[in-house]
Amino acid sequence: MKVKQLILCMSMGIAPALFYSCASDDREFELPASKQYGTLSIDLTNETEFALARESRALNEETYKNAANYTVRLVNTSNDNVLFECNYNDLSDYLPKTLEIGTYRVEASYGTERAFSRNEFLCSGSNTFSIQAKEEKKVTVNVSPTCGKLSVAFDSEMATYFDDYSVTFGGTKAMGNSTCAWAKADSEPWYVAIAEAGETVNYTISLTAKDDYMHSDANGNTSKQASVTGSFQLQRNKAHKLTVRPNYNPATEGALSITITIDESTNDKEYTWEVPVTWI
């Protein structure tokens, strides 16, 4: 029996993907007549939807578009045997290669999954497929982040009414009892691991009012500390930005309130509401 070699072709790009073809080798060679084989080609596409944070000092999201950073694995699903695992740039070392008929899985990944991080996240994907006798199969592996991206923007007027302010995020399965915080001077986004079906992210905005805007209750007790709590749904490969600005109305009990805008920047939706400040 004569069968063409296995060719692996990969490319990277923001969807829709731009594929770069690999040169194929049409050499033929003898295989045992008692077995049947098929041929396979692979494309790797990147579906990262984050707005690129080129201003970020901690992490350059552009690195996740570079195919050379990815590890590629081919697995025989019948016995979980890894037929090869290599860096994309080393794929040629494993060619030519043939596959017996059966079911296989191609996996690709780059980075490490963290409950929350400003330095890295995991971008991965896999595709399970079957090879039939003499079949020429082309398989596409779509890689995308296993996290959501969070950022906060404090309106400049916050400094008029508050000495300090911050946001704490938590509530996901991966975070457990841990939290990550965004201080008033922060600029780097948080990458938070999210379950495949999406998760609820809780937030607490902590505020320290200036002396002139302290809360006084009916008994004359004053307080400078205040907080606002809430939650929103976050999906993998989505970016949410909280914009927080103050509202001050001396005629209203409590005087200060907060307007929160949640910008789902990947699908151009904004949710805005005014939330009363809870004084501690």
Domain ranges of the chain: 2-145, 147-279
Cα separation, 67 vs 44, whole angstroms: 8
Cα separation, 37 vs 227, whole angstroms: 65
Q: Is 202 exposed, middle or buried (0-12, 13-18, 19+ CB in 10 A)?
A: middle
Are 37 and 3 in contact by the 8 Å Cβ rule? The answer is: yes
Closest CA to 95 of 35, 32, 29, 25: 25
Are 82 and 41 in contact by the 8 Å Cβ rule? The answer is: no
Cα separation, 100 vs 35, whole angstroms: 7
pTM metric for this prediction: 0.81
Three-class secondary structure of residue 160 per DSSP: helix
- C-beta contacts of 53-57 below 8 A and 24+ residues apart: 53/189, 55/187, 56/188, 56/189, 57/188
DSSP class of residue 5 equals P
pLDDT tens across the length of the chain (280 residues): 333 333 333 333 333 332 333 333 444 444 444 467 777 777 778 877 665 444 456 788 889 988 899 999 999 999 999 999 999 888 777 766 678 999 999 999 999 999 999 999 999 999 999 988 888 888 888 999 999 999 999 999 999 999 999 999 999 999 999 999 999 999 999 999 999 999 999 999 999 999 999 888 878 889 999 999 999 999 999 999 999 999 988 777 667 888 989 887 665 566 677 777 888 8
DSSP class of residue 232 equals E
